[in-house]
Structure 1
Amino acid sequence: MNTIFSDYDRFLSFNSVHHAIRAEKLLGAAGIKVVAMPTPREIAISCGQCLLFGAADQSTVLTILENGQVEWSKLFKRQAGSYEEIANFTE
């Protein structure tokens, strides 16, 4: 895997840039380390922005987003340059 952001092994995609930006703000305010980046081409998602974060923060991230009413699209496990879908958003 690329050594840049190698500790960030979770990848969260969104349906809109608005939700991605709101998620980044909420998570940052809660002290969760996240990295915003363009959505990889391998992932067929309409929004061009995603967030990376560590697996240890996964349940906290999802709880914060739920409480903040931020919709996300899919959650992926990221390793060795590949992405495995492990969850998707349901209302």
Structure 2
Amino acid sequence: GIYSSGKFTGTSNRITKRGSKRLRRALYLAVQCGIRRGANHRISDYYKKKRKEGKPYKVVVIACANKLHHHIYAILYKNEPYQA
């Protein structure tokens, strides 16, 4: 969340370190490998879009890892196979 108090509103939104360290690392590495190989077209298209916007590499990879996390959660929640 964004820290705010009175008229002050904090602007630095850092990545939270909550949750499983191993899961974060696994998602990060999965996204890096997926970007290099172009395995998941949705993630690689999202990566290219964010890079064209001028975002730094690591920021984009974290955003892609978050997107991958949402994909995985939806697959498990709906109990349906992934459709590319």
So what's the TM-score if we normalise by structure 1?
0.29
Question: Higher strand share goes to which structure?
Answer: 1
Q: Which has the higher contact order (CA 8 A, sep 6+)?
A: 1
Structure exhibiting the larger radius of gyration computed from Cα positions: 2
Question: Higher helix share goes to which structure?
Answer: 2
